[in-house]
A and B are shown apart, each in its own frame.
Chain A
Amino acid sequence: MPTDIITRPGFKLLTIILGVSSLWNGFTLLFGAIALFNKEVIVPTYLCLIVPIFFLLILLNTPVILAYSYDITGLLLKVLWTLVIVYNCIISYYGNVLILIDNHIPNENQKFILIGITFFVSASPILFSLMIPEVEFIYQIPQDPKLLFTIIKSTFVIILKLIKFLLFIALTSISFIVLTVLALILFYVIKVN
């Protein structure tokens, strides 16, 4: 994306809004996980925290995944990313239902609003990650398709690359995740009280 567009005040503001909206996405994912998992199977609430953390880690690293080559690792990452988008929409919707209408059955107008909020909020982390100016360096990650000679070796490489990838995204997104977790705890305390 051209630098003159990224540095425009309106565009910067939109990036910030999408960043804040990504935090809300974290909230809705947590509450959605609680709404979906706590009903049928008793899952401790703190385990539900894994859902927003994992989903946001993947979605916030959209540029890495999209720029990755089409080897097995890249394809797996892209499949994982697509699945995360679909599940993000579904879990976020249930989270919004729990947060905004106390898990009641929504009427037509409420459904319209809930779907809208879910759509915009779910798209936020993806666009936020693509719009931040610092994103350019991510496109230069090392890619070596020659490593995949045998199935065993390729599996080993995939696991290693996935670990490396997770470590990389954990490091790049750490401040964002810490903020998300803090905000989630604060919001949960307010909700419980």
Chain B
Amino acid sequence: MNSDQKIGLKSLTLIFGISSLWDGFTTVYGTTAILERQEVPQMIAGVLLAAIILGLLYNTSTILNLDYDDVVGISLKLLWFCAFAYDLATSYMGNIAFLITSPELNEIQKFVLFGLTFFVTASPILLSLLVNRIRDN
């Protein structure tokens, strides 16, 4: 890998890192919005859920490479899939609660929100794969 590629990878890592933070924020915001309360316990639960989800997604490359005959490996893989599904849902709801002020969504807004949610949710996974790639090189 040449130096230009390395710089490109590092800048991508930075972008995905920021995007992952947004993912965490929308998870917390979405959780508290759904629970309809924004007090200390709800915030703690939201932060905890976001931390678990981000923690699992950030370890994507490690978790997916674990053995299938290992209890930890199978459990973490199962939890990883659940985390990904939950991340999609909570991020979507968080984006709606944070970005949309109107009570109903039109088609264009839905399309943009789906895209945003998809890219943001994919960020920690891609960040994990990129960090692994950089470490291996």
Contact = CB atoms under 8 A, between A and B. Distances in A.
A17 B55 contact: yes
By secondary structure, the A interface counts as helix
A100 B45 contact: yes
Given A24-B45, A123-B79, A14 B56 contact: yes
30 contacts: A1-B72, A10-B59, A10-B62, A11-B59, A11-B62, A14-B58, A18-B52, A18-B55, A20-B51, A21-B48, A24-B44, A96-B45, A100-B37, A100-B45, A101-B35, A101-B36, A109-B34, A110-B34, A113-B34, A113-B35, A113-B90, A116-B49, A116-B86, A117-B31, A117-B49, A120-B79, A126-B75, A130-B71, A130-B72, A130-B75
By secondary structure, the B interface counts as helix
A78 B58 CA distance: 32
B13 interface: no
B76 interface: yes
B69 to A, nearest CB: 12
Interface size class of A (residues with CB under 8 A): 35 or more
Contacts of A24: 44-45, 48
Given A120-B52, A190-B40, 12 more contacts: A10-B58, A10-B128, A17-B48, A100-B45, A109-B34, A109-B93, A110-B36, A116-B49, A116-B86, A119-B82, A120-B82, A126-B75
What are the 8 closest A-B residue pairs judged by CB atoms, nearest first? A14-B55, A17-B55, A109-B34, A130-B72, A17-B51, A99-B41, A120-B52, A10-B59
Nearest to B61: A10
Interface of A: 1, 5, 8, 10-11, 13-14, 17-18, 20-21, 24, 66, 96, 99-102, 109-110, 112-113, 116-117, 119-121, 123-124, 126-127, 130-131, 190-191
Interface string B22-57: 000000000100111100111011001101110110
A182 to B, nearest CB: 16
A20 B48 contact: yes
B72 A127 contact: yes
B4 to A, nearest CB: 27
B83 interface: yes
A100 B71 contact: no
Interface string B68-82: 001111011001001
B55 A110 contact: no
A123 B72 contact: no
Given A100-B35, A190-B40, A117 B45 contact: yes
A1 B70 contact: yes
A126 B74 CA distance: 13
Interface string B104-127: 000000000000000000000000
B89 interface: yes
